[in-house]
C-alpha cells in the first residue's frame, strides 16, 4: 500500500480501525477514516497521524444515497484521489426472526448493504478516471451459513457477497479489482459486548476468535499492490468455522 490513498468506512473502532492502522504501517500516505461517531474518529486520527502521513476524518451517516455520494466526494477532495475503498461499515442486531419489523430491517440493510452499493458506484466512477483501483468489502461468514437470531444481517451480508461479484465482473476491464473478506467471529468491542464468544468459540477448529488485525491483514492484502490477479473472490477468514 506504499504511497496509496485509502478510504475506510466504519473506521472508528474494530476492524475498520485495524484496517486503517495496518494500511498506515504498510505505507499508505493518505488515509480517510469515515464513521458517524466524531469522537472515535478523532482518536483514530490522533493515533495514526504522522509527519509523512495524512489522516483525515469524515463524519457521515451513510444510510442514504446522497450522504454516500457526499462522503465519497469529500474523501476525494481531501485525499486528491481514492486508490482503495474499504466498505467496512455495518451493524448487527440480535432479534428473533418473527420479531424483526420494517424499521429494524431497513436499518440493517441501509447500514450493511445500501451504503456499500452507493459508495462502490461513486468509487468506480472515480477510479475509471484514475486508471483503476481496489474495492474491498467486509462481508461475513453469516452470508454463507444460517443465522436465525440475525436473519436480516445474514441476508445483508449475502447481498454484499453478490454485489462484490457483480461489481468485479462489471469493472474488471477498467482495472478495478473488487473482492470481499468474510470474517468469522472476531474479537471486537461489539462482539465482546454481546458475549458471543462462549457460544461460538467451541465450534471454531482453531479454538479462538480472530483478532481485528488478522482480518485487517486479509483486507489489506486484497486492497494492496500485491493483489494483481484476484477479483470477484470472497476470502473466508473464520478459523475453520465454515468447514466445522
Pairing of strands 54-59, 234-237: unpaired
Task: Determine whether 171 is an active site residue.
Answer: no
Cβ atoms of 87 and 62 within 8 Å: the answer is no
CA distance 44 to 47: 5
Assigned C-alpha cell, 102: 420494517
Would you state the cell numbers that stand for residue 223, as one nine-digit string? 486492497
Note the Cα 217 to chain centre separation in Å. Answer: 12
Q: Are 127 and 176 in contact (CB under 8 A)?
A: yes
Residue 154 CA to residue 145 CA, distance in Å, equals 8
Q: How many CA atoms lie within 13 A of 8 on its CB side?
A: 32
Distance CA 9, CA 3 (A): 20
Bridging pattern class, strands 176-183 and 54-59: unpaired
Of the listed 94, 153, 171, 229, which one is catalytic?
153
CA 132 remoteness from chain centre: 19
User: 40 vs 59, 89, 123, CA distance in Å?
Assistant: 10, 14, 25
7: left (phi over 0), alpha (psi -120 to 50) or beta: beta
Q: What residues are annotated to the active site? A: 153
Amino acid at each position: 500500500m506504499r504511497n496509496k490513498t485509502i478510504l475506510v468506512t466504519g473506521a472508528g473502532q474494530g476492524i475498520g480501525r485495524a484496517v486503517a492502522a495496518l494500511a498506515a504501517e504498510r505505507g499508505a500516505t493518505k488515509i480517510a477514516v469515515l464513521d458517524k461517531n466524531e469522537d472515535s474518529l478523532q482518536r483514530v486520527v490522533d493515533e495514526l497521524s504522522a509527519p509523512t502521513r495524512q489522516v483525515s476524518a469524515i463524519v457521515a451517516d451513510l444510510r442514504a444515497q446522497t450522504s454516500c455520494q457526499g462522503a465519497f466526494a469529500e474523501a476525494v477532495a481531501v485525499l486528491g484521489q481514492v486508490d482503495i475503498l474499504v466498505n467496512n461499515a455495518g451493524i448487527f442486531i440480535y432479534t428473533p426472526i418473527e420479531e424483526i419489523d420494517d424499521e429494524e430491517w431497513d436499518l440493517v440493510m441501509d447500514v450493511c448493504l445500501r451504503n456499500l452499493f452507493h459508495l462502490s458506484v461513486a468509487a468506480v466512477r472515480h477510479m475509471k478516471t484514475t486508471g483503476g483501483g481496489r474495492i474491498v468489502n467486509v462481508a461475513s461468514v453469516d452470508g454463507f451459513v444460517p443465522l436465525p437470531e440475525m436473519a436480516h444481517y445474514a441476508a445483508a451480508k449475502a447481498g454484499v457477497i453478490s454485489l462484490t461479484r457483480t461489481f468485479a465482473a462489471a469493472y474488471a476491464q477498467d482495472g478495478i479489482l473488487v473482492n470481499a473478506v468474510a470474517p468469522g467471529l472476531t474479537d471486537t468491542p461489539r462482539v465482546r459486548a454481546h458475549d458471543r464468544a462462549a457460544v461460538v468459540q467451541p465450534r471454531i477448529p482453531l479454538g479462538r476468535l480472530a483478532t481485528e488485525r488478522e482480518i485487517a491483514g486479509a483486507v489489506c492484502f486484497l486492497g494492496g499492490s500485491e493483489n494483481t490477479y484476484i477479483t470477484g473472490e470472497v476470502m473466508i477468514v473464520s478459523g475453520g468455522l465454515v468447514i466445522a
